[in-house]
Chain A
Amino acid sequence: MLFNSYEFIFAFLPLTILLVWLFGRYASFQAVVCVLVLASLFFYGWWNPAYLAIILVSMVLNYQLGKRLSKSREKVTLYLGVFLNLLSLGYFKYTDFVLENVNLLLDTPLPLPGVVLPLAISFFTFQQIAYLVDSYRGETVEKHPLDYALFVTFFPQLIAGPIVHHKEMLPQFANGHASITARNLGLGLSIFALGLFKKAVLADGVAGYANVAFINVDNGVTLDFFAAWAGALAYTFQLYFDFSGYSDMAIGLARMFGIILPLNFYSPYKSVNISEFWRRWHMTLSRFLRDYLYIALGGNRAGNFNRYRNLFLTMVIGGIWHGAGWNFLIWGALHGSYLIIFHAWRYLCPALHALQNGLARMLGWAVTFVGVVVGWVFFRAVTFDGAMTMLKGMFGGYGVSIPQGVWTRLGESVTGILSQIGITESSAGSSAFVEVWVWNFCLLIVVLMMPNTQDIFSRVAGSLSKLSYDRRDTFWPGFKLVSGIGWKANTRWALISAILFVAGVLTLSQVSEFLYFQF
Chain B
Amino acid sequence: MNYLTRLALLIVLVFALVGGFNFLVDPYGFYWSPALKGFNQQKTRADERVREVTPYRALALQPDTVLIGNSRVQLGIAAESKVLKGRHAYNLSLPGAGLAETLRHALSQARYNPNLTTLIIALDYRYFLHNYSQSPGLWSQEELLDTITQRPEDAVERFMRIYPAVFSLDTLFDSVRTIAQQGGTYNNITRLGSNTGGYYLDAIKAEGKKRFFRHQFGGLFMRFGRKHLTYQAGGEVYSIALLTSFLEEMKKAHPKVELHFFINPYHQSYWQVIYKSGHWGSYLQWKRDLAGIGERYPEYAVYDFSLPGEQTLEPLNYEQDRQLMTWYWEPAHYRPKLGDEVLKVLLHENSSSKTADWPIRLQQHTIERAIVRSIDGLAQPD
Residues on B with C-beta less than 8 A from A212 are none
> Which residue of B3, B6, B167, B207 is within 8 Å of A506 (Cβ)?
B167
Residue-wise, chain A 483-519 has the 8 Å CB interface mask toward B (1 for contact) of: 0000001110111011101110111010000000000
Distance of A243 Cα from B145 Cα, bound (Å)? 49
Q: Do A185 and B4 touch (CB < 8 A)?
A: yes
B169 touches A497 (CB 8 A): no
Contact indicator B215/A498 (Cβ below 8 Å): no
Is the CB–CB distance between A506 and B169 below 8 Å?
yes
Answer yes or no: B13 CB below 8 A from chain A CBs: yes
The B contact surface, by secondary structure, is helix
Task: Determine whether the beta carbon of B4 is less than 8 Å from that of A502.
Answer: no
User: How many pairs of residues, A versus B, come closer than 8 Å at their CB atoms?
Assistant: 67
The answer, among B4, B167, B207, B218, for a CB contact under 8 Å with A405, is B207
Assembly CA distance A505 to B168 (angstroms) = 8
Evaluate contact between A186 and B11: CB separation under 8 angstroms. Answer: no
Give the CA-CA distance A502 to B13 in the complex, in Å: 10
Residues of A within 8 A of B203 (CB): 405
Residue of B nearest to A506 (CB): B169
Cα A509 to Cα B161 with chains together (Å): 11
CB distance from A433 to the nearest CB of B (A): 14
Total interface residues on B, using CB and 8 Å?
25
Contact of B14 among A183, A490, A498 (CB under 8 A): A498
Residues of A within 8 A of B14 (CB): 498-499, 502
A408 to B170, CA, bound (A): 29
Instruction: State A494–B211 Cα separation when bound (angstroms).
Output: 52
CA distance A495 to B12 in the complex (A): 11
**Is there contact, CB below 8 Å, between B215 and A494?**
no
Chain B residue contacts of A409, Cβ below 8 A: 206
Expressed in whole angstroms, the Cα–Cα distance for A182 and B5 within the complex equals: 9
Question: Complex: how many Å from CA A491 to CA B6?
Answer: 7
Nearest-Cβ distance from residue A472 to partner chain B, whole angstroms: 32
Contact flags B298-340 to A (C-beta < 8 A → 1, else 0):
0000000000000000000000000000000000000000000
Residues of the B chain whose Cβ atoms lie less than 8 Å from the Cβ of A175: none
Cβ B4 vs Cβ A186 within 8 A? yes
Are the CB atoms of A498 and B13 closer together than 8 Å? yes
Q: Which B residues are CB-close (under 8 A) to A182? A: 2-5
Check A201 for interface membership: any CB of B closer than 8 A.
yes
Q: Chain B contacts of A183 at CB under 8 A?
A: 2-4
**In the complex, A190→B215 CA distance in Å?**
49
A495 touching B206 in the complex, CB below 8 Å, given contacts A182-B3, A509-B168: no
Bound Cα distance A491, B168 (Å):
25
Q: Which residues of B contact A507 (CB under 8 A)?
A: 168-170
Give A405 to B216 CA distance when docked, in angstroms: 12
Establish whether residues A494 and B7, one from each chain, have CB atoms under 8 Å apart when the complex forms: yes
Given the known interface contacts A506-B169, A507-B169, the answer about A495 and B211 at a Cβ–Cβ threshold of 8 Å is: no
* B residues apposed to A, CB below 8 Å: 2-7, 10-11, 13-15, 18, 164, 167-170, 172, 203, 206-208, 211, 215, 218
* Complex A-B: 17 CB contacts under 8 Å: A182-B4, A183-B2, A186-B4, A190-B7, A408-B208, A489-B3, A491-B6, A494-B6, A495-B10, A497-B10, A499-B14, A502-B11, A506-B18, A506-B167, A506-B169, A506-B172, A507-B168
